[in-house]
């Protein structure tokens, strides 16, 4: 702002120069003005502020008038220094640049021009040539200019005030900045000091490090020493924390200690006052006893008074004898006076006794109060002492703990480095026990293994039982062998199906059901499956491809397999995706391909290769059906020789109808030695010498062979049932057993099933009726008769299932007044066509519906809705549908074969105990047999609804869970593993 004001003045001067031509003076003034301005610029801001302060407004206004707005400070300076007398002269700078800077001042400029003219005219007054009018006009002009100049002055003054405020503000800020600079300077000094210290420390550390490195060499960050050092540091830090805590506690304790003297002082004070009170009490008690003696005296006196009274009476009798009497009277009078005095004394002494009593009471109160206070303070002291003792105890405990820990650590450190002598001594002890027959060979082997491995558990057992008796020592060591066998077996299932993601029939149910049951029993269960394109991927949790490729042999070369992992209903599953040009599992279906033998022999080889490459050491490898039957010969022929031999092989044939036969040459593809295996006692099929049989190979090469029901296990030993394998089964009968399958009672549970319309249980069957109504509505069947029996059938439509009898059952149900719903599909084209015809025939029938497809959700609804369930199988290895049907309260009508014979018992068979009777059975595989069973069932349903309901409830409560079946498998596995171990020891 100051510079603006200055240029304003200069601008005016410039205009003036243009109007009045006074070249020599102008030149002279110009140089002065410029130099003045320059000097002004060189003034420090401080000086400028002082200048402004020094020049009050009025003075400035006067100067303005006197000097006609010239450069105020500098003009005065110039004037004084030059001693010039032209103080009223106006400086006329001729600086174009400066004049251009302020066009707003044009009016003012003209006023100045006029002023200059006035001055010049004044000079000319001395000359007669000047006219009066001109002079007046000039004076008027000058007056105008003056008024304008005054206005300008006001403006400038207000500007100046604003400037002053600004300056004050700046001054304050400056002072603030100065202070900050000082602080910053101080801080800078501090920082510099700290930096110096840091530098010193750094140089010290680096010199130390170099010394350390010199001592130990450079340590890698990952080196065990550094890691251990880090661990120790962490531990150290933790210990420091503990010590810090302890210090705090100790501080608390010492605070308590500090309080203790004051409390003790209070205690002694209270004790002193108690003593005082006690002495007062004893005084009072003295008084009381004195009072008692006074009372006694008083009594004696009153007795005496009475005696005297008696004497007085006697005396009054002898009153007649005056002299004697008078004398006696005086004497008596004296005595009476004396007595009276005594009595008075006694009465007087009575008052203090009352006072004493009062005093006594007050004293007692006081004593009680002080006793109370004493008790309270005692309590407080006691609690404080307790607190103190507790903290001391805690302190000691922590100290002990720390000591223990450090002792244990040092012990552990020393135990880790136990001399070889220790372990040798242990081995000798174990051998001694074995020779003395105190422990078995197995136990000795286990204990020796632990000793060789320097297992900490056997070391601890030895140290713990050192001072104990031989018997106790043995018990401690044998415990170790039990605990080593308890965690359960490692069981790996290799299969082609697994419910619910890849299920065609009962095999899928068995893999997940048995797997889960074994897992529940504490075994480590894993599953290996092919990665089919048509699996239900949404039911696999956390599925991901592993960053690994497993190469497996096939057709004379190695093929890569991508390995996927995921969990299915809590079971860990490996999926193998072969990178084979034939795209083995990219066919949109599970089975029924022309190259099934190749597909599954490839899968079997890849599965064993995966286990081998993964370094697994399973106890049991369990393969199922012909698709994975190759695993058994592959394992023993190829992999056991490579050292992959920890496992026993269990093979379960779920259906002997499917044996996986193929030209012997095809066996070569998976790497098996066809010349060795294509023998009648190995893999050669009974039908032709150039054919191999995968199931036969598994029977021969497996350690355990099972099938899915005891009856079926008997049936397949016969010529009819064995389908060529009866001889093989007979020769391997020792390892062959039939175990009835269970069902997954979590997946098949009407009280939790989300697929069905209404959930229900044996205790509340209302929901079952509602499900029946719902399916009738859904399938557009007649709903007019609620009690009309509904017969269900869910099956693969294959000859085994008695398709002709199923067809017959449809008509039979209709004849008997019932309804029939079939859910099934057939891999056999002519059967599929046949059933399609029947389905079309009954397309809009009000009592029959055929649904020729695979539909898991719909199957749940049919189980829940149906009253009866038909299974007229020609043979049935186990059959799950009869068990599922019973769980949903649908009474089974079955042919007595295989697993159906082991799970369904006829209601009308008196030879069977009533509690086992649960359905309707027939033996003959013909329409008559089926018809009669259906008729009996319908009659029972219609004639005895109550008995039927009881039957339904009984069926629903039967236990078909995997628990008992899984236990049987568990026993088989364990026996096999134990045999193998025993054999290995021999
Ligand atoms: P299989 O000989 O087919 O293994 P099982 O009785 O042992 O016969 O097991 C059949 C399993 O397949 C049952 O869980 C049954 O519910 C199911 N199932 C069969 N056919 C179908 C179908 N069309 N839709 C849905 N599930 C079916």
How big is the chain by its Cα radius of gyration, in Å?
61
794 lines ligand 1 (CB under 6 A): yes
Alpha carbon 860 to chain centroid distance? Answer: 36
Q: Residue 5 — very low, low, confident or very high, per pLDDT cuts 50/70/90?
A: very low
697 lines ligand 1 (CB under 6 A): no
Q: State the distance from the centre of ligand 1 to the C-alpha of 627, rounded, in angstroms.
A: 18
The count of residues in the chain is 986
* CA proximity to 851, closest of 793, 804, 767, 920: 793
* CA proximity to 288, closest of 342, 367, 369, 361: 361
Distance CA 655, CA 504 (A): 13
Atom of ligand 1 nearest to the CA of 504: 12
795 lines ligand 1 (CB under 6 A): yes
709 lines ligand 1 (CB under 6 A): no
> What order do you get walking across the sheet with 557-568 strand by strand?
541-554, 557-568, 571-578, 524-530, 490-494, 620-624, 648-653, 704-707, 736-738
Nearest CA to ligand 1 atom 20: 795
Predicted pLDDT of residue 879:
97
144-154: pLDDT as tens digits: 888 888 888 88
Predicted pLDDT of residue 754:
96
504 lines ligand 1 (CB under 6 A): no
* CA proximity to 543, closest of 514, 518, 564: 564
855 lines ligand 1 (CB under 6 A): yes
The yes-or-no verdict on residue 867 having pLDDT over 80 is yes
Predicted pLDDT of residue 288:
66
* CA proximity to 377, closest of 274, 497, 249, 299: 274
> Are the C-beta atoms of 51 and 2 separated by less than 8 Å?
no
Q: State the distance from the centre of ligand 1 to the C-alpha of 788, rounded, in angstroms.
A: 26
Alpha carbon 527 to chain centroid distance? Answer: 28
Predicted pLDDT of residue 938:
98
Mean pLDDT of 217-227: 59
49-98: pLDDT as tens digits: 444 444 443 343 333 333 433 333 333 333 333 333 333 333 333 343 33
Handedness of CA 252, 257, 258, 259 (dihedral sign): positive
Q: State the distance from the centre of ligand 1 to the C-alpha of 867, rounded, in angstroms.
A: 18
Q: Residue 830 — very low, low, confident or very high, per pLDDT cuts 50/70/90?
A: very high
Q: Which of 504, 510, 794 to mutate to test the pocket of ligand 1 (most atoms within 8 A of CB)?
A: 794
| pLDDT, averaged across the chain | 81
The yes-or-no verdict on residue 173 having pLDDT over 50 is yes
824 lines ligand 1 (CB under 6 A): yes
862 lines ligand 1 (CB under 6 A): no
> Are the C-beta atoms of 812 and 931 separated by less than 8 Å?
yes
Q: State the distance from the centre of ligand 1 to the C-alpha of 508, rounded, in angstroms.
A: 9
Mean pLDDT of 735-762: 97
Atom of ligand 1 nearest to the CA of 796: 20
> Are the C-beta atoms of 339 and 309 separated by less than 8 Å?
no
625 lines ligand 1 (CB under 6 A): no
> Residue 821 contacts by C-beta under 8 Å, 6 or more apart in sequence?
775, 779, 781, 790, 791, 792, 793, 848, 849, 850, 851, 862, 865, 866
823 lines ligand 1 (CB under 6 A): yes
Measured from the Cβ of residue 143, the count of other Cβ atoms closer than 10 Å reads 12
Nearest CA to ligand 1 atom 15: 881
591 lines ligand 1 (CB under 6 A): no
- C-alpha count within 13 angstroms, C-beta hemisphere, residue 443: 21
505 lines ligand 1 (CB under 6 A): yes
The yes-or-no verdict on residue 106 having pLDDT over 70 is no
**Angle subtended by helix axes 927-943 and 945-957, to nearest 10:** 110
Q: State the distance from the centre of ligand 1 to the C-alpha of 866, rounded, in angstroms.
A: 16
Mean pLDDT of 142-171: 86
* CA proximity to 564, closest of 605, 593, 535, 598: 535
**Which pair of structure tokens corresponds to residue 406?**
């450090």
742 lines ligand 1 (CB under 6 A): no
Q: Which of 740, 880, 902 to mutate to test the pocket of ligand 1 (most atoms within 8 A of CB)?
A: 880
Q: State the distance from the centre of ligand 1 to the C-alpha of 878, rounded, in angstroms.
A: 12
845 lines ligand 1 (CB under 6 A): no
Atom of ligand 1 nearest to the CA of 876: 2
Mean pLDDT of 391-411: 72
Predicted pLDDT of residue 371:
77
Q: State the distance from the centre of ligand 1 to the C-alpha of 825, rounded, in angstroms.
A: 10
458-468: pLDDT as tens digits: 888 888 888 88
Q: Which of 796, 826, 877, 960 to mutate to test the pocket of ligand 1 (most atoms within 8 A of CB)?
A: 796
Q: What are phi and psi of 529, to 5 degrees?
A: -130, 160
Q: State the distance from the centre of ligand 1 to the C-alpha of 564, rounded, in angstroms.
A: 27
Q: Which of 497, 498, 506 to mutate to test the pocket of ligand 1 (most atoms within 8 A of CB)?
A: 506
* CA proximity to 701, closest of 629, 619, 645, 641: 629
Predicted pLDDT of residue 349:
54
Q: State the distance from the centre of ligand 1 to the C-alpha of 794, rounded, in angstroms.
A: 6
Atom of ligand 1 nearest to the CA of 655: 2
Q: Tokens 């174990």 map to which residue?
A: 430
Nearest CA to ligand 1 atom 3: 505
More reliable by pLDDT, 184 or 159: 159
Q: Tokens 């719902």 map to which residue?
A: 774
832 lines ligand 1 (CB under 6 A): no
Q: In whole angstroms, how far apart are CA 471 and each of 80, 450, 462, 467, 468?
A: 128, 20, 13, 12, 8
The yes-or-no verdict on residue 28 having pLDDT over 70 is no
755 lines ligand 1 (CB under 6 A): no
880 lines ligand 1 (CB under 6 A): yes
Atom of ligand 1 nearest to the CA of 507: 4
Predicted pLDDT of residue 816:
98
């Amino acid at each position: 702002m100051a510079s603006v004001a200055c240029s304003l003045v200069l601008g005016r001067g410039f205009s003036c120069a243009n109007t009045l031509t006074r070249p020599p003076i102008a030149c002279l003034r110009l140089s002065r003005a410029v130099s003045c301005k320059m000097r002004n610029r060189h003034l420090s801001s401080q000086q400028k502020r002082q200048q402004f302060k020094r020049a009050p407004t009025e003075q400035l206004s006067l100067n303005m008038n006197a000097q006609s707005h010239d450069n105020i400070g500098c003009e005065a300076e110039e004037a004084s220094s030059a001693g010039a007398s032209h103080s009223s002269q106006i400086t006329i700078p001729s600086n174009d640049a400066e004049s251009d800077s302020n066009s707003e001042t044009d009016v003012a400029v003209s006023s100045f021009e006029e002023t200059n003219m006035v001055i010049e005219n004044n000079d000319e007054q001395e000359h007669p040539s000047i006219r009066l009018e001109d002079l007046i006009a000039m004076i008027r002009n000058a007056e105008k200019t003056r008024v304008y100049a005054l206005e300008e002055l006001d403006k400038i003054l207000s500007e100046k005030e604003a400037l002053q405020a600004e300056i004050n503000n700046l001054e304050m800020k400056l002072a603030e900045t100065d202070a900050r600079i000082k602080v910053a300077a101080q801080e800078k000094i501090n920082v510099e000091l700290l930096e110096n210290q840091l530098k010193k420390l750094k140089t010290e550390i680096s010199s130390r490090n170099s010394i350390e490195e010199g001592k130990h060499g450079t340590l890698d960050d990952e080196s065990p020493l550094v890691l251990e050092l880090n661990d120790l540091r962490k531990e150290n830090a933790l210990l420091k924390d503990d010590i810090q805590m302890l210090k705090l506690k100790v501080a608390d304790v010492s605070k308590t200690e500090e309080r203790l003297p004051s409390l003790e002082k209070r205690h002694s004070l209270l004790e002193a006052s108690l003593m005082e009170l006690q002495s007062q009490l004893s005084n009072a008690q003295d008084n009381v006893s004195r009072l008692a003696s006074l009372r006694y005296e008083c009594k004696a006196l009153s007795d005496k008074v009475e005696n005297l009274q008696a004497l007085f009476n006697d005396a009054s009798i002898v009153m007649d004898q005056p002299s004697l009497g008078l004398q006696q009277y005086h004497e008596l009078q004296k005595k009476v006076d004396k007595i009276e005095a005594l009595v008075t004394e006694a009465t007087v002494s009575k008052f203090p006794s009352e006072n004493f009593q009062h005093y006594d009471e007050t004293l007692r109160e006081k004593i009680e109060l002080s006793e109370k206070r004493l008790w309270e303070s005692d309590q407080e002291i006691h609690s404080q002492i307790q607190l103190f003792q507790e903290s001391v105890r805690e302190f000691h405990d922590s100290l002990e703990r720390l000591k223990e820990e450090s002792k244990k650590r040092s012990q552990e450190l020393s135990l880790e480095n136990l001399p070889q002598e220790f372990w040798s001594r242990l081995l000798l002890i174990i051998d001694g026990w074995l020779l003395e027959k105190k422990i078995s060979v197995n136990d000795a082997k286990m204990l020796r293994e632990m000793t060789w491995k320097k297992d900490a558990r056997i070391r601890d057992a030895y140290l713990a039982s050192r001072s104990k008796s031989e018997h106790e020592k043995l018990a401690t060591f044998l415990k170790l062998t039990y605990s080593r066998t308890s965690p359960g077996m490692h069981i790996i299932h290799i299969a082609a199906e697994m419910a619910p993601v890849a299920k065609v029939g009962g095999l899928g149910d068995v893999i997940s059901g048995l797997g889960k049951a074994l897992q529940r029993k504490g075994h480590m269960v894993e599953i290996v499956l092919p990665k089919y394109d048509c699996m239900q991927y949404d039911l696999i949790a956390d599925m991901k491809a592993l960053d690994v490729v497993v190469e497996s042999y096939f057709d004379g070369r190695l093929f890569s397999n991508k390995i996927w992992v995921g969990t299915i209903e809590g079971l860990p599953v490996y999926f193998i995706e072969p990178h084979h040009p034939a795209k083995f599992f990219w066919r949109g279906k599970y089975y029924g391909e022309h190259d099934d033998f190749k597909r599954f022999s490839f899968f079997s080889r890849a599965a064993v290769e995966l286990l081998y490459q993964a370094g697994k050491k399973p106890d049991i490898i369990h393969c199922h059906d012909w698709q994975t039957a190759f695993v058994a010969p592959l394992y023993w022929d190829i992999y056991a020789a490579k050292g992959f031999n920890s496992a026993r092989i269990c093979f379960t044939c779920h259906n002997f109808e499917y044996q996986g036969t193929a030209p012997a040459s095809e066996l070569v593809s998976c790497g098996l030695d066809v010349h060795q295996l294509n023998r009648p006692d190995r893999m050669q099929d009974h039908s032709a010498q150039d054919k191999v049989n995968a199931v036969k190979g598994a029977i021969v090469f497996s350690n355990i062979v099972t099938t899915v029901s005891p009856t079926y296990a008997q049936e397949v030993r016969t010529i009819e049932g064995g389908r060529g394998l009866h001889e093989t089964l007979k020769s391997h009968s020792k390892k062959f057993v039939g175990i009835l399958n269970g069902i997954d009672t979590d997946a098949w549970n009407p009280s939790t099933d989300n697929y069905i319309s209404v959930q229900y249980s044996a205790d509340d069957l209302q929901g079952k009726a509602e499900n029946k109504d719902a399916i009738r509505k859904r399938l557009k069947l007649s709903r007019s008769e609620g009690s009309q029996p509904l017969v269900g059938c869910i099956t693969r439509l294959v000859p085994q299932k008695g398709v002709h009898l199923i067809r017959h059952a449809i008509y039979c149900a209709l004849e008997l007044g019932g309804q029939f719903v079939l859910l099934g599909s057939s891999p056999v084209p002519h059967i599929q066509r046949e059933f399609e015809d029947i389905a079309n025939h009954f397309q809009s029938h009000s009592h029959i519906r055929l649904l020729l497809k695979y539909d898991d959700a719909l199957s749940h609804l049919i189980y829940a809705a149906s009253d009866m369930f038909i299974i007229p199988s020609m043979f049935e290895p186990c059959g799950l549908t009869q068990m599922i049907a019973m769980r949903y309260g649908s009474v089974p009508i079955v042919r007595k074969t295989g697993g159906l014979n082991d799970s369904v018992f006829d209601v009308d068979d008196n030879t069977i105990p009533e509690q086992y009777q649960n359905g309707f059975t027939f033996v003959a595989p013909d329409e008559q047999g089926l018809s009669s069973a259906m008729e009996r069932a319908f009659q029972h349903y219609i004639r005895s609804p109550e008995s039927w309901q009881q039957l339904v409830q009984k069926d629903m409560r039967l236990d078909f869970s995997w628990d008992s079946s899984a236990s049987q498998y568990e026993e088989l596995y364990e026996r096999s593993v134990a045999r193998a171990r025993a054999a290995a020891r021999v």
